[in-house]
Amino acid sequence: MEIIDFLQYSFIQKAFIAGFFVAITCSILGLFLVLRKMSLIGDGLSHVSFGAIALGLFFGIYPFYVAVPLVILASILILKISEKAKIYGDAAIGIVSAVGISGGVILASLSQGFNVDLFSYLFGNILAISNLEVVLSALLSIIVILVIYFFYWDLFSATFDEEYSKTTGIKTTFINNLLTVLTAVTVVLSIRMAGVMLVSALLILPAVTALQLSSGFKKAMLISVITSLLSISLGIIFSFFLDLPTGATIVMINVLFFGIALVYKKL
Amino acid sequence: MSIIEAKNIFVNYGPSEALKDISFVIERGDFVGLAGSNGAGKTTLVKTILGLLPLSKGSIELFEKNQDTFNDWYKIGYLPQKFSTINALFPATVEEVVTLGLLSVKKFPKRITKADKERAKKIMEELGIIKFAKKMLSELSGGQQQKALLGRALIAEPEILIFDEPSTALDPNSRESFFKLLQSLNKEKGITIILITHDTGYIGKYANKLLYIDRELIYFGKFSEFCADNKMQSYFGEHEQHIICHQHD
């Protein structure tokens, strides 16, 4: 089959459209998360998504609608637990993440009916994405990108030097909350593509690849976006022609780019 | 005009008192050396002034406004201790770092304009770091990094600069030239300076006032008066008082 024929399939077109939006969002947001040592929040929130999706399926509600608000809530909970209970953020992520997974497993066991649907979210399938999911991915991605655009310098300053940024009047607590909520939305968006198990890779890998090669933050952002777009495009193409799972293929291509960047830096 | 006025301030870390009943007034044009031994509360005091730590009791006025209602943060330039707060992995260029100082004068949505970039260029030229503008901060020496952060503190044209032990990242030559630069900012541009140091044998050469604390206020006033103060002689001992005073012009 020629690549032109391949691009004429509507499910492939939808995969590319949704994939590009999610790739841009993940790669920009991921850079801030990696630099703020918050990489694992993506992992934790994806586990919460698992529980939220199970809840949606259990009550027969479209999982996306349940997952977005619940994962946002969980992201705020992670911040509050680490503030109020005086524990480190990774422990707070661990707690919320465990609740998400165990809640999902219990609901799956109780229902005995939607296990197949639920477990399809574990590894995602961008080739099976619906029209509604494409529209939601595009809309939410645009919102996330706009928020990052408007708060770019606040995010930059608070990530580079949080204490100093407070002395310039930046409300760092608000910025931290904002970043966490944006991450929550982005994680839910990415689940259909990479699945619960691999979603954090979409946030972390393009960012760490860019950090190997960049000399300046804007360049890092650009490299991160390009890496992410390339990985998603190549991932969709290779997974289709080689009959491989798409999410995992995208992640492995990302890993390959990271490896190349590491070797290039050493040279 | 008073730039900073602290009135009977107390700061607690849990049950322990980090600062106890400290009062002073810093006036426009002062160059204040803030000294004290390790753990005396120097950084705590500065962070409290900047609103980074909460007061337990007392009040602080900045530019004759209560700290709670003070919004003109661009008037205050701050250089934290030994780059301790900076994210070392962050790929920021020197130009980007200097530009960050302008965020205190920006309103939402904050944008960096061509004029801002020109301003950053001018500051980098004045500080002799223009050739590093596109280099990453992490690629520079300690002295050059210090100047980049000074550029960040200066770009919004502050009326007071607060430094937390700026000389610790510098070799003796860079330290001398850095302190001379501060002196010229104080004398020629009239910028008020507070400089934290534990190097009491050095600060007298540049500062006109000494603020010495040991969780509580030990001394605040002119250097010249400190050196003639018998009470201080009995507190520090003649030798220590001499070390603090002997380099003062």
Give the pLDDT of residue A194.
Answer: 84
**Residue B149 maps to a domain:** no
**Residue B105 maps to a domain:** no
**Residue B118 maps to a domain:** no
A217 touches chain B (CB under 8 A): yes
For residue B90, give how far its alpha carbon lies from the nearest alpha carbon of chain A (Å): 6
- Kindly state the tokens that stand for B123: 């500051």
CB < 8 Å from B in window 54-113 of A = none
What's the rounded mean pLDDT across residues A199-220?
93
Cα–Cα dist B30/B160, whole Å: 9
**Residue B128 maps to a domain:** no
Count up the domains in chain A and report the number: 1
What's the rounded mean pLDDT across residues A178-189?
93
Please enumerate in sequence order all residues whose Cβ is within 8 A of that of B59, keeping only pairs 6 or more positions apart, or say none.
B6, B7, B8, B9, B66, B67
Confidence label for B248 from pLDDT (cuts 50, 70 and 90): very low
**Residue B24 maps to a domain:** yes
pLDDT, tens digit, 9 for 90 and up, residues B76-97? 999 987 666 778 789 999 999 9
Q: CA-nearest residue of chain A to B86?
A: A161
**Residue B166 maps to a domain:** yes
* Residues spanned by the domain of B67: 2-87+157-245
Most B CBs within 10 A among A160, A170, A209, hence the mutation to make, goes to: A160
A145 touches chain B (CB under 8 A): no
Cα–Cα dist B145/A63, whole Å: 50
Count up the domains in chain B and report the number: 1
Exposed / middle / buried, residue A48 (Cβ in 10 Å: 0-12, 13-18, 19+) = buried
What's the rounded mean pLDDT across residues B147-171?
87
- Other Cβ atoms within 10 Å of B238 Cβ, number: 9
> Which residue has better confidence, A105 or B202?
A105
Give the pLDDT of residue A2.
Answer: 72
- Other Cβ atoms within 10 Å of A212 Cβ, number: 18
pLDDT, tens digit, 9 for 90 and up, residues A114-157? 776 777 888 888 888 889 889 988 998 999 999 999 999 999 99
Residues of A in contact with B100 (CB under 8 A): 153, 156-157, 160-161, 164-165, 168
Answer for the pair B1, B64: CB distance below 8 angstroms, yes or no.
yes
Residues of B in contact with A211 (CB under 8 A): 89, 91
In chain B, what percentage of residues exceed pLDDT 70? 96
> Do the bridges between strand B2-13 and strand B16-27 make them parallel or antiparallel, or are there none, so unpaired?
antiparallel
**Residue B198 maps to a domain:** yes
Calculate the alpha carbon distances from A42 to A36, A39, A122, A152, A182 in Å.
13, 6, 14, 20, 11
Indicate which CATH number applies to the domain containing B222.
3.40.50.300
- Other Cβ atoms within 10 Å of A113 Cβ, number: 11
ipTM for the complex?
Answer: 0.86
Residue B3 has pLDDT above 50, yes or no: yes
pLDDT, tens digit, 9 for 90 and up, residues A52-94? 999 998 898 988 899 999 999 999 999 888 878 778 888 989 9
Indicate which CATH number applies to the domain containing A151.
1.10.3470.10
**Residue B109 maps to a domain:** no
pLDDT, tens digit, 9 for 90 and up, residues B167-184? 776 777 777 888 888 889
* Residues spanned by the domain of A28: 3-266
Give the pLDDT of residue B75.
Answer: 94
- Kindly state the tokens that stand for A267: 């040279």
> Which residue has better confidence, A213 or A215?
A213
